[in-house]
Chains A and B, each alone.
Chain A
Amino acid sequence: MTQSFDAQTVDSTGVFFATQLNRIDPVLNTPLADFTYARDIDIAPLDVADEQTSFDSVKYAATGGVEAAGPSFVSSKVTEIGTVGVDLQRVTAGTFLWAQAVQKTVIELAQAQKLGRPLDAMLLDAMNMKLNVDMQNHVYLGYTPNAGTAIKGLLNSTQVTAATVATGVGGFLWTQKTDDEILADINTLLTAAWQASGFTIMPDRLGLPPLKFSYLVSRKIANQTMSLLTYLSQNTMANNINGKPLDIVPMREAVGAGAGATDRMIAYRKRADVVRIPKSPVLSVPVQFVGLYQKAIYYTRFGTVEFVKPEAVRYADGF
């Protein structure tokens, strides 16, 4: 019996395959996925051979004049003039080798070719999607091995100060707060990072859980002229210091990332000298032919999210 995809077509009327009178949309509908790590963090160079990454920071010191800690004012015949000194620190982090095999037999390939379905392209796309899924999780939340220390990401670093938002008149949730209270929550967060960085770095990006983002888009300010989101992006500290509106973006990993599994928002300056993740280019070994199989291994190396200036990053929870 010839196989058919529809039992009714088998035994009668000269139509044997469902496809004979079936218009098939040739478009292959691929999985829906959105990866935002490339938007939210800078990628630093890494080689696949690097087992660790590190960066050096330098601290300056200078001995003053009359008072050692005071200004370097001296007298005209002085012989003992204060000197400057430098001290370096190196921060090291581990890396993770990543590999995925793409394999198919030549028979599967031939059959896919006859079907008009590009098997190798689909497998490659699946490989890329796994890479993106892993990278997305790694960037935002890090990685918790079965044993050993958990590696932290952009949203859960122990180097970053986290605080709970202030309680408003109606409560601490944004749904219970006035526009001014929400504005104050964000300004408090931005100012805290600005202050911690010695008033040098004002965050330019605010990451919110997607439903909180959606809430700000839906809610209008009192005079109904714009959404609260637009108002906030233009009227927080960030616009006044940086000269550009605050980039408010949804981050799905921020849901429940705060203390006690509350929602978390993150304010930071997206700049490679503030926070970044090293990652090597994706490489592959030449296709290996083993029997009927064609195997290709793709590999790369992930670094760990590096907070070069953790002071310029700040979390606020429970809003």
Chain B
Amino acid sequence: MTQIVTNSLPLGIAGDITRSGDGLAIEAQTMGTTPLTSYGLPAKLVSGAITGIVGGDTADLILGFLVRANPSQGGNTSNEAFGAGTPPLAGVAVSLLKSGYIAVQNNFGTPAKEGIVYVRIAAPSGAKVVGGIEATADGANTIIVPNAAFTGAADATGVAEVRFNV
């Protein structure tokens, strides 16, 4: 991601709460064995801790989206580039957006206003990772995030805004 600004700014950083209204975020514990790997990903609850959506998961398991706190210590062991912030590892309390607006990384497809938000659960390839957000349906390989919609197009870095449970 470039630092040069001409006639637009990126619309958000993945995981940022993008609107200042009465969004709802709760605390959650990250799972030790399989923590979420990026901010702004949808999460489910397993044994009291949150983890990413994987193969076989159904839409009703989606609890919320992982919120980015800035500044905070991440879970990465190397220096982080723009947009590459990694959530902290096990045992750390993080914030989970239950309702509101959040910036997410869209891996595939073109988000449009009121467009359906998909999560990949199978057949990953390239940027289309399992547990990641996409804007285009891919049969049984994607599930629909309930009560969620894109609010418009993504920016140059693929970050789009999602409305969830509002």
Contacts and interface: CB of A to CB of B under 8 A. Distances in A.
Interface string B81-115: 00000001100000000000000000000000000
Contacts of B88: 3
A136 interface: yes
Contacts of A136: 7
Interface stretch (B56-64, B72-80, B142-150, B158-166): B72-80
A111 interface: yes
Nearest to A137: B7
Contacts of A130: 9
B4 A33 contact: yes
B39 to A, nearest CB: 14
Interface of B: 3-9, 17, 19-20, 69-73, 75-79, 88-89
The B interface is mostly helix, strand or loop, or mixed, namely: loop
A32 B77 contact: no
Given A3-B89, A33-B5, A133-B9, 17 more contacts: A5-B76, A5-B77, A6-B77, A6-B79, A32-B3, A103-B17, A107-B69, A108-B70, A111-B71, A111-B72, A117-B71, A119-B70, A129-B5, A130-B9, A133-B7, A252-B7, A297-B20
Contacts of A107: 69
Interface of A: 3-7, 10, 29, 31-33, 101, 103, 105, 107-108, 111-112, 115, 117, 119, 126, 129-130, 133, 136-137, 252-253, 295, 297
By Cβ-Cβ distance, the 7 closest A-B pairs, closest first, are: A101-B20, A33-B5, A7-B77, A31-B3, A31-B5, A32-B4, A111-B71
B4 A108 contact: no
A5 B79 contact: yes
Which of A4, A7, A31, A117 counts the most B-chain CB atoms under 10 A from its CB? Answer: A31
Contacts of B4: 31-33
Contacts of A137: 7-8
Nearest to A102: B20
Contact of B20 (A29, A32, A129, A295): A295
Contact of B6 (A101, A112, A119, A252): A252
Contact of A3 (B5, B9, B73, B79): B73
Contacts of A7: 77-78
A6 B78 CA distance: 5
24 contacts: A3-B73, A3-B89, A6-B78, A7-B78, A10-B77, A29-B3, A33-B4, A33-B6, A103-B20, A105-B69, A108-B71, A111-B72, A112-B71, A115-B71, A119-B70, A126-B9, A129-B9, A130-B9, A133-B7, A133-B8, A137-B7, A137-B8, A252-B6, A295-B20
A108 B79 contact: no
Nearest to A103: B20
A168 B4 CA distance: 37
A6 B77 CA distance: 5
A111 B88 CA distance: 15
B108 to A, nearest CB: 24
Contacts of B78: 5-7
Contacts of A111: 71-72
A253 B7 CA distance: 9
Contacts of B73: 3
Contacts of B89: 3
Nearest to B72: A111
Nearest to B92: A3
